[in-house]
Amino acid sequence: MASTAFPSRDDFAALLNESLGGEDGGFEGRVVKGTVTAIENDLAVIDVGLKSEGRVPLREFAAPGQKAELTVGDEVEVYVDRVENAHGEAMLSRDRARREAAWDKLEAEFTESARVDGVIFGRVKGGFTVDLDGAVAFLPGSQVDIRPVRDVTPLMDIVQPFQILKMDRRRGNIVVSRRAILEETRAEQRSGLIQTLSEGQIIEGVVKNITDYGAFVDLGGIDGLLHVTDLSYKRINHPNEMINIGDTVKVQIIRINRDTQRISLGMKQLESDPWEGADAKYPIGAKLAGRVTNITEYGAFVELEPGIEGLVHVSEMSWTKKNVHPGKIVSTSQEVDVVVLEVDSEKRRISLGLKQAQSNPWDSFAETHPVGSTVEGEVKNATEFGLFIGLEGDVDGMVHMSDIAWGISGEDALNLHRKGEVVKAIVLDIDVEKERISLGMKQLEKGAPAAGGASAGSGLSKNQIVTVSVLEVRDNGLEVQAGEDGATGFIKRGDLGRDRDEQRTERFQPGQKFDAMVIGFDRSKKPNFSVKALQIAEEKQAVAQYGSSDSGASLGDILGEALKAKNDG
């Protein structure tokens, strides 16, 4: 009875456990309320109604970077890890209690896509840690701000809003974004600001960023792109040639896309257009001074004034230098004289000529070296059809292989001269428009016909009948010479006779002689002969002298009589 009237300490413990649902099943793993009974150094002593009190670090009752405001008698919620440890104390955690409560709240806010408040309090690999009122979340470095942030220190230990991107309570993972909040806020600001802007409006802004293709200008909460081509009418290689980050600039709104919220800006639009009246300022044929601004494979751009450039095509750069890269003729920033060739104000194009601003060397050569004059020059190149000779004025003349030497084939004549050799020649023909000069070397040899006229030096004239000797037999005809030391000429295969059998070149041998008629002269004044023309002429003469075939005599009879009369004579 005594034991029943006066219960022992163990009896009280049993009764307590019974009321809590077991020795450790009632408290452990739960969030319970307790009272602060004492504060010892950095620890708070808390009574939660267990056999013993528990101690919790004061820092768990404060936000990161702040001091805990806790006094004796305060009621707090804590999480019971264990009812009793090895020292007989309860294992309590304020952080765990806050974390459990925070998770319940965060799950509800995540479901509603609501913003949550948190504090950045630490750095980890790839980002930062954020305290969401007890729950620890991960903030990736790319989600801190809209643009990369070099120093995050000013953003730490202050309460600010975040957006939960994803969360997994079982694994204890939460990922948040500060950037999403900023973008949403910025989008709201942009939508409001863009409604106040209009195309053509002139506005001031601050240069925020510069790239190779342009600059981004802050118009007071919304950015616009100032493209490099809209900075100035003159050529700009990089935006930093005109503006710098932080500069306040006056711009005009060129285009607004309200769907994408993109704004295109321009500075040159605030200046007068230099292309206005370009036709009058730059008449065709005008000689002007300019500066080379850019060189390409197809030509060079020359600035005539700020904002106006013309193209000198590679074909208009030099009278004499052909197929040469423009960079070998002019250099960037070089001052040059040019002539206006064409102007198209609508397309903003001007075609210029560099060579036209200089004297035409072909005209100069024709004035100082008329046909028939003698010149001297260096063999620049040998081709399969002749020699190119460098002449005065940096022009070239060509000696066709048939005009190199008398009495030998063209191929053999080409082998008589080598590149770099200085030779003399006579001017046979000049074509200024086609930029061609025809030269002859064999015409300077003794007994050669004069270059000034076919009959002047050779004594030959058209329709004249002469005796020629074969110099060379070719597939397409014969190279022949009139008389003993006369002019050389050519008889085409088709002019060797009227019949096909007579036109075979293999019938002839070098040194063989026969009569032929002069039927004309080539560009180098060489005579062309024809046996066929002679036969036709003799036939016409015989018919006229001995009667036509209408008299009853055959053509053979008439020719026979003519031949007999010729032999008798």
Residue 12 is predicted with a pLDDT of: 56
Q: Give the pLDDT of residue 543.
A: 76
pLDDT at residue 88, rounded to an integer: 61
Query: Sheet containing 75-82: which strands, arranged edge to edge?
Result: 54-57, 43-47, 31-40, 75-82, 91-93
Domains and CATH numbers, the chain: 26-98 (2.40.50.140), 113-183 (2.40.50.140), 197-270 (2.40.50.140), 280-356 (2.40.50.140), 361-444 (2.40.50.140), 459-545 (2.40.50.140)
**Token output for 318:** 């030099």
- How far apart CA 292 and CA 120 sit, in angstroms, is 57
pLDDT at 15: 57
Residues 6+ apart with CB under 8 A from 184: 163
pLDDT, position 542: 78
> Phi and psi for 230 in degrees, rounded to 5?
-105, 10
What is the C-alpha separation between 315 and 321, in angstroms, rounded?
A: 9
Q: Is residue 310 within 8 Å of residue 284, measured between CB atoms? A: no
Angle between helices 531-546 and 555-568 (to 10 degrees): 90
pLDDT for the residue 508: 92
Judge whether 509 and 473 are in contact, CB under 8 Å. Answer: yes
Which DSSP helix (H) or strand (E) runs through 257?
strand 248-257
Give the pLDDT of residue 45. 84
pLDDT in the model for residue 108: 87
- pLDDT score, position 549: 46
Map 517-541 to HEC letters: EEEEECCCCCEEEEHHHHHHHHHHH
Nearest to 174 by CA among 123, 66, 99, 98: 99
Angle 85-91-97 (CA atoms, 0-180°, nearest 5)?
160
Max distance between CA atoms of the chain, in angstroms, equals: 189
Query: Which residues, listed in sequence order, are joined to residue 265 by a DSSP beta bridge?
Result: 226, 253
Q: Which of 193, 186, 112 is nearest to 145 (CA)?
A: 186
Q: Which residues in the chain land under pLDDT 50? A: 1-4, 19-25, 447, 450-457, 549-553, 555
What number of other Cβ atoms are within 10 A of residue 271's Cβ?
13
